[in-house]
Amino acid sequence: MMKDRLLNLIALFVVMSVSPFAAQEKKAFTLDDVIPGGSNYYALSPKGLPGLQWWGDVCVTADVEKVVARKAAAEETLFTLEAVNKALPEGCRPLHTLMDARFPWADRQVAVLPQGGQWIWFDFGQQQVVQSVRLDERAACLDFCPANGRMAYTIGSRLCITAEDGSEIAVSPAGKENEDTQDLVYGQAVHRNEFGIDKGTFWSPKGRCLAFYRMDQTEVTAYPQVNTSGRVAVPEPDKYPMAGMTSHRVSVGLYDLHTGQTVYLKTGDATDRYFTNISWSPDERSVYVIELNRDQNHARLVRYNAVSGEPEAVLYEEKHPCYVEPQHPLRFLPWDETKFVYQSQRDGFNHLYLFDTKAAPVREGWQTLAGTGSSYCEHVGVRQLTAGDWLVQEVLGFRADKREMIIGTTEISPLQTNVFALDTRTLKRRLLGEKDGMHRARLSQSGKFLIDHFTSAAVPRVIRLLPTDGKQGTVLLEADDPLCEQYELPDITVGTLKAADGKTDLYYRLVKPVGFDPARKYPAIVYVYGGPHAQLITNTRFYGARGWDLYMAQKGYVMLTVDSRGSDNRGLCFENCTFRRLGTEEMKDQIKGVEWLQSLPYVDKDRIGVHGWSFGGFMTTNLMLTYNDVFKVGVAGGPVIDWQFYEVMYGERYMDTPQANPDGYREANLRLKAGRLKGRLEIIIGGEDPVCVPQHSYSFLRACIDAGTHPDFFVYPEAGHNMVGRDRVHLHEHITRYFEDHLK
Amino acid sequence: MMKDRLLNLIALFVVMSVSPFAAQEKKAFTLDDVIPGGSNYYALSPKGLPGLQWWGDVCVTADVEKVVARKAAAEETLFTLEAVNKALPEGCRPLHTLMDARFPWADRQVAVLPQGGQWIWFDFGQQQVVQSVRLDERAACLDFCPANGRMAYTIGSRLCITAEDGSEIAVSPAGKENEDTQDLVYGQAVHRNEFGIDKGTFWSPKGRCLAFYRMDQTEVTAYPQVNTSGRVAVPEPDKYPMAGMTSHRVSVGLYDLHTGQTVYLKTGDATDRYFTNISWSPDERSVYVIELNRDQNHARLVRYNAVSGEPEAVLYEEKHPCYVEPQHPLRFLPWDETKFVYQSQRDGFNHLYLFDTKAAPVREGWQTLAGTGSSYCEHVGVRQLTAGDWLVQEVLGFRADKREMIIGTTEISPLQTNVFALDTRTLKRRLLGEKDGMHRARLSQSGKFLIDHFTSAAVPRVIRLLPTDGKQGTVLLEADDPLCEQYELPDITVGTLKAADGKTDLYYRLVKPVGFDPARKYPAIVYVYGGPHAQLITNTRFYGARGWDLYMAQKGYVMLTVDSRGSDNRGLCFENCTFRRLGTEEMKDQIKGVEWLQSLPYVDKDRIGVHGWSFGGFMTTNLMLTYNDVFKVGVAGGPVIDWQFYEVMYGERYMDTPQANPDGYREANLRLKAGRLKGRLEIIIGGEDPVCVPQHSYSFLRACIDAGTHPDFFVYPEAGHNMVGRDRVHLHEHITRYFEDHLK
């Protein structure tokens, strides 16, 4: 069934392929025009509405000079920058923009206006400042609680909250020595942001309590990063637990504003365990944590008493021979606080499950799901809300009056996110907005309205105000694509080809050279990622092709990308077939793409290049070494070279530990293939890459030198895992030159 | 006068130019054949006699299996490896070779045989082991005292000596914590090996006392080197005082073996002072130190009482507006312990001065030497022993019975070292050995014999046993040049051209392509160094051209090297004209060379490349940026980019401090020229370069990225300032490829 739908879509895409300007002569665009960070990039991107947001059910635009509410078809200015600055009390610094304004209270005419460490509460009914807070200028990880008006924030490794008068309350032990240490870190994201963790503080719904992470890294090795930008180079050691080595220990604290006391969840020994997706019960009495063993193959949903910190119940367990990867906190039903929605890919795709904390489980004991390898054990009543060979990507919220959930899914196409209203009683789904394209949406307070941000290969950008009852919406913005208007762009097609397993359909994207001449023989470059949690081909502007792909097409290259097995949005089995052998299956799929590419009459099969970053750098290097007769030139950015140098959480999920999986680590260790290098391979890294630490690439260079092979190398000093701003333009000039030098 | 001599020589050289095999077809040599570290390098180098040495006046050859003495024309085996191993006492490890045998006592039939930390004293008269010592395996900086049979050595930062029974006596404070610190270092070379310092311990002539350096680096910034070769990258901080910053403080200790007490020389505050060329008086009662201020423009020769450590007298002072650079310890006359020979370049060339400690100075007060800028003040009687526009390079020793000194000088040619006997009474000099070529010689105990190691552009290698009375010597070895025999080598000529000052003659070396065809247009590469203390063109094998020059000539490049002003062996003014503006004058001279190169009909003037390492890397980068229309391709190894990142001793000698010479530092700061890069420039460094720390190159890459220019880069992980062994072959493959990619 899936296959048919895919093929239908392909036909659609091919017809829709982006080629607005046939053969007419236009000037050439530059990297500055198409690379983020380029001087002309934003001018040539479709316009957006950056300050657009919800104030309750009112759609508001926060601009530099003023904040405007859209009511019905009319616009109403709520307040101006001038008015705010006039109303500022003494000692407050004037604001330069209102674009960061936030409207946390649907029922209050109050905006929160942050600027640097200064936070202003502006009552735009009264046109006066009702509160102002000046935080320590080092304050980071700010987390504002609408329920109590307090702010949680970190200073170095410490955690603080604002008192009622705006002064500082220390949640973690105070003192300079506790700020600078990396040994004990409070209030920050832990587990290296895996498992959906993106912050370290969690306010209780009514604002009585702050849950926070505390991470003990005392026994974690520090990676010796060095900053060479100053008068003297300085060490910048960075705690980085490597696969198979001693990791950090995390605990979860609950700070009670009323008592000023902290209770830690009594999780037992935290060694080699992950505590993720912290969720408060609506009544603030319980904290739910999904707990995972270091092997990451057994998840448990545990409820703790928020007063005593004692565990109260295990509600759910899930296992998988590869890995279980809980990534989403619980979502309690607004109309029934005894029920929440849990996300799991146990049936092969990420779907929604309604947990009834008061109901007995349907089936006792461990259940196995044929075909997926998953097994699970429900300790309360659970009802599956969605199912099918597509996946739920996000829960936008609820429309309580209709008992609906508003969700984003791949149901229409794995290349898309579409928004649906899911009736939690009938389980029927209703599409909201266009069928085509990629939708990013934000739901209003009541769930009655969406701001629907929509883009596809055919539509540069449309932003609509959309009622969730299915009525016609209002177009807020319909943007042109200045790049398409001003320049001749390449023809881009998307289709599928068979994976190396002979059955799975893989999406590819083919970008033909600008001014394509079928009689010519073009060099071709594969742009690759291939790792989990990423998908390069989507039904968005240029089908997700990046500016550099367009640029290279303009320079006369055919650009191919294949989302191989292991990549995102295709379900559990599609992803975990790479388990313990990262790179191997992915490369086979990429080679399928290359074989197809080489079969095209206009592709010079002896001039095939490959480029990728991070996991894509790993793939690029691996392809250059493993299939060294196929690829002539490669540029690998920030590559993984040896998974034992990668961090514990991501690394061991897919590879287990080096001790447990020596063969897998050996097979994926590119240093052991250093002697196979035949073509031209350039490795590029950020000098202080904290993700793929420089040791990967340096140890690879050393291996090549010892093996007598000759990679090239470049480093962006002081840069991290990715180059940003002007560096990013420079990087792509550099990459381009390498292909021009050796593949052209 | 000098000029005439030079021109005569040039004529000679041109005639002698190395081109033994005209146009006949031979196979091509590889980098493995001609680069040190290459698998075939030694097989294709002229043979030597590595174990050749003096035992008193007996010439001895220490081989793997046996030690042979050459007496008259006959050879006599003194002992064999087998005999030594048979004689070893229990607990001693068998020796694998006798090549490291030393014969410290002219009057005893005893060899000292080191192997690892084990030292064997072998009496080859009795064929028995008379002593054995097993040092800590971390022992380094070993310094054996023939007078007392003791060994001084370091363990980490500590200093020890062997007791009579071979056990360890701690000279510096004992304890593990004192071993691992870089803060206080005992018994090692100080001042970063400048001022001729190559060790940190100095036995008194009769063995009663050990003088040693103690270096306090507490306030010196550590450069954060990183080693990426292990399971986890580890920091390897290295104390590195940068120009203008706080430097180390050195003191000189005297450890008395009889009392077990250490006295430190009472030098006063050691801040910003250098203590160099430690010399014992023959009677052990005094220690002489040459003391230099941080500006390095005022040297003082001071005598200290070896018992009390009190200063006794200042014997000599010397100043120069640029710098004074004392590099040689005193040499006391064997026949008169009240007199010693001091070396100074105060008259413009390094010459010898006989100091009479008992005589009054010839002239009181400060004297100025017109033309050189030098001034000096003699506090004792001084007589100049040598003079002329050539320089003394080394004092080999004395022939006491004739009151002669045996010295090596550039008198015959600045491209040569020839050995002379200097009569200290008449000041007449007598040439020993061939007039042609470069002579490295070792003098026997009495001074009656030389081992004269001789090579020139025409002579691969001759080693002679040479009486110093002028009689005919014995040829020990006359080596062929296997490279010349087996391969067609390029034509090499040496000549002079005028420096940019319009008057100074500079030597150049031109290597023409193998199989030269005057009708063709060849690309050309300048191989450059240009800094002080180095000379690239000498009358040695291939006139000093390195294997890579030959290899590139074989590949069809013209190779040019010019020893520009600032380089070695041409005297004070030739060197110090670059003072405070390193690079500027040197580049002008290099451009003179390039202009000449471009005037040659067979050179393609649009394809000029440049390559150099260290100071030559600085020159290469600077030339690529400054003369960016001249050079198309450059490869700069381990370059200085900004002299403020270079160390205090060398850096400030030539550049003063950044605070005192901001304009000079700005002019030489290549980061400020990063935007001028037009051609292709590759920077190559050792990942842990302790000399030109990686910060130089990383900060340059950053400057280029920010300026939007595009250098290339490569790093040899874990390597130091130079690549050695197999790395060196790989390096030259890499450099070659870069020129082949972009200049061919």
Question: Chain A contacts of B694, Cβ < 8 Å?
Answer: 228, 233
In chain A, what is the straight-line distance between the N-terminal and C-terminal CA atoms, in Å? 43
Identity of the amino acid at A112? V
From A609, A572, A576, A570, select the one nearest A590 (Cα to Cα): A609
Of B224, B713, B733, the CB nearest to A235: B224
Question: Chain B contacts of A228, Cβ < 8 Å?
Answer: 694-695, 698-699, 702
Among A168-177, A301-310, A693-702, which is the least confidently predicted range?
Answer: A168-177
- The arithmetic mean of pLDDT across residues A447-465, rounded, is 97
The DSSP H or E segment spanning A735 is helix A726-742
Question: How much is the pLDDT for A26?
Answer: 67
The DSSP H or E segment spanning A621 is helix A615-626
Question: Chain A contacts of B221, Cβ < 8 Å?
Answer: 232
* DSSP three-state, residue A108: coil
- Cβ within 8 Å, pair B699-A224: no
Among candidate residues A614, A656, A697, A732, the one labeled active-site is A614
- Cβ within 8 Å, pair A228-B712: no
Residues B75 and B69: their CA atoms lie apart, in Å, by 6
Among candidate residues B17, B444, B564, B614, the one labeled active-site is B614
Distance of CA B528 to the CA centre of its chain: 18
pLDDT(B8) > 60: no
Question: How much is the pLDDT for A175?
Answer: 87
* Burial zone of B214 (CB within 10 Å; 0-12 exposed, 13-18 middle, 19+ buried): buried
Question: Chain B contacts of A741, Cβ < 8 Å?
Answer: 741
Question: Chain A contacts of B706, Cβ < 8 Å?
Answer: 726
Rg value, chain B, Cα: 26
Residue B649 C-alpha, separation from nearest chain A C-alpha, in angstroms: 17
Residues A396 and A420: their CA atoms lie apart, in Å, by 10
- Cβ within 8 Å, pair B713-A708: no
- Cβ within 8 Å, pair A699-B717: yes
**Residue A23 tokens, joined:** 């053969």
The DSSP H or E segment spanning A494 is strand A492-498
Distances (CA, A) of A121 to A59, A114, A124, A722: 19, 9, 9, 36
User: Which residues lie below 8 Å from residue A30, measured CB to CB, with a gap of 6+?
Assistant: A38, A40, A551
* DSSP three-state, residue A196: coil
Residue B612 C-alpha, separation from nearest chain A C-alpha, in angstroms: 19
Residue B205 C-alpha, separation from nearest chain A C-alpha, in angstroms: 43
Question: How much is the pLDDT for B545?
Answer: 98
The question of whether A248 is a catalytic residue gets the answer no
Q: Which of B246, B702, B726 to mutate to test the interface with A (most CBs of A within 10 A)?
A: B702
Question: How much is the pLDDT for B117?
Answer: 87
pLDDT digits (tens, 9 = 90+) for B559-597: 999 999 999 999 999 999 999 999 999 999 999 999 999
Q: Which residues of A349-367 are buried (b: 16+ CB within 10 A; e: fewer)?
A: bbbbbbbbbeeebeeeeee
Sign of the alpha-carbon torsion through B581, B583, B587, B589: positive
The DSSP result for A364-387, as a single string, is -SEEE-TTT--EEEESSEEEE---
- The arithmetic mean of pLDDT across residues B185-192, rounded, is 97
User: Contact A680/A633 with Cβ under 8 angstroms?
Assistant: yes
From A342, A203, A196, A387, select the one nearest A274 (Cα to Cα): A196
pLDDT digits (tens, 9 = 90+) for B12-34: 444 344 444 444 556 899 999 99
Question: How much is the pLDDT for B9?
Answer: 43
Which residue has better confidence, A202 or B177?
A: A202
Mean per-residue pLDDT over chain A, rounded: 95
User: Which residues lie below 8 Å from residue B216, measured CB to CB, with a gap of 6+?
Assistant: B183, B184, B248, B249, B250, B251, B270
Given the DSSP bridges, would you call strands B603-613 and B522-528 parallel, antiparallel or unpaired? parallel
Q: Which residues of B10-24 are buried (b: 16+ CB within 10 A; e: fewer)?
A: beebeebbbbeeeee
From B702, B724, B536, B512, select the one nearest B619 (Cα to Cα): B536
pLDDT(B689) > 60: yes
- Cβ within 8 Å, pair B235-A232: no
* DSSP three-state, residue B352: strand
pLDDT(B4) > 60: no
- Cβ within 8 Å, pair B245-A233: no
pLDDT digits (tens, 9 = 90+) for A403-441: 999 999 999 999 999 999 999 999 999 999 999 999 999
Given the DSSP bridges, would you call strands A633-637 and A603-613 parallel, antiparallel or unpaired? parallel
User: Contact B201/B608 with Cβ under 8 angstroms?
Assistant: no
User: Which residues lie below 8 Å from residue B241, measured CB to CB, with a gap of 6+?
Assistant: B217, B220, B221, B247, B248, B647, B648
3-state percent breakdown (helix, strand, coil) of chain B, nearest 5: 20, 35, 45
Of A245, A699, A730, the CB nearest to B705: A730
**Percent of chain B clearing pLDDT 90 (strictly above):** 93
Question: How much is the pLDDT for A195?
Answer: 96
Residues B481 and B43: their CA atoms lie apart, in Å, by 10
* Burial zone of B204 (CB within 10 Å; 0-12 exposed, 13-18 middle, 19+ buried): buried
The DSSP result for A202-270, as a single string, is EE-TTSSEEEEEEEE-TTSPEEEEEE-SSSS-EEEEEE-PBTTS---EEEEEEEETTT--EEE------
User: Contact A687/A715 with Cβ under 8 angstroms?
Assistant: yes
pLDDT digits (tens, 9 = 90+) for B430-489: 999 999 999 999 999 999 999 999 999 999 999 999 999 989 999 999 999 999 999 999
Residues A466 and A456: their CA atoms lie apart, in Å, by 18
Sign of the alpha-carbon torsion through B665, B666, B671, B673: negative
**Inter-chain CB pairs, A–B, below 8 Å:** 107
Residue A552 C-alpha, separation from nearest chain B C-alpha, in angstroms: 18
Question: How much is the pLDDT for B26?
Answer: 67
**Residue B479 tokens, joined:** 């080596």
- Cβ within 8 Å, pair B715-A726: no
- Sheet containing B311-319: order of strands: B273-280, B286-293, B298-305, B311-319, B375-378, B366-368
For residue A52, how many C-alpha atoms fall within 13 Å in the half-sphere facing its CB?
A: 19
Residues B717 and A685: their CA atoms lie apart, in Å, by 14
Distances (CA, A) of A152 to A99, A200, A600, B150, B532: 22, 10, 58, 68, 61
Residue A707 C-alpha, separation from nearest chain B C-alpha, in angstroms: 10
The DSSP result for B503-521, as a single string, is S-EEEEEEEPPTT--TTS-
Question: How much is the pLDDT for A272?
Answer: 97
User: Contact B252/B286 with Cβ under 8 angstroms?
Assistant: no
User: Which residues lie below 8 Å from residue A81, measured CB to CB, with a gap of 6+?
Assistant: A64, A65, A66, A95, A96, A97, A98
pLDDT(A21) > 70: no
Number of H helices, E strands in chain A: 13, 44
Q: Searching chain B, which residue's CA lies closest to the CA of residue A713?
A: B714
Among candidate residues B721, B727, B730, B734, the one labeled active-site is B721
Residues A570 and A568: their CA atoms lie apart, in Å, by 6
Residues A649 and A247: their CA atoms lie apart, in Å, by 9
Region of residue B542 (left: phi > 0; alpha: psi -120 to 50; beta: else): left
Of B698, B701, B730, the CB nearest to A705: B730
From B602, B607, B606, B596, select the one nearest B519 (Cα to Cα): B602
pLDDT digits (tens, 9 = 90+) for A170-209: 999 988 888 989 999 999 999 999 999 999 999 999 999 9
> Which pLDDT band holds residue B509 (cuts at 50, 70, 90)?
very high
pLDDT(A342) > 80: yes
- Cβ within 8 Å, pair B228-A698: yes
The question of whether B689 is a catalytic residue gets the answer yes
Question: How much is the pLDDT for B176?
Answer: 86
Question: How much is the pLDDT for B507?
Answer: 98
Question: Chain A contacts of B710, Cβ < 8 Å?
Answer: 730, 733-734, 737
Residues A113 and A115: their CA atoms lie apart, in Å, by 7
pLDDT(A11) > 90: no
Residues A216 and A643: their CA atoms lie apart, in Å, by 24
Residues A14 and A22: their CA atoms lie apart, in Å, by 16
pLDDT(A2) > 80: no
pTM of structure: 0.95
- The CA dihedral of B177, B179, B184, B187, to the nearest 10 degrees, is 160
Which residue has better confidence, A177 or B353?
A: B353
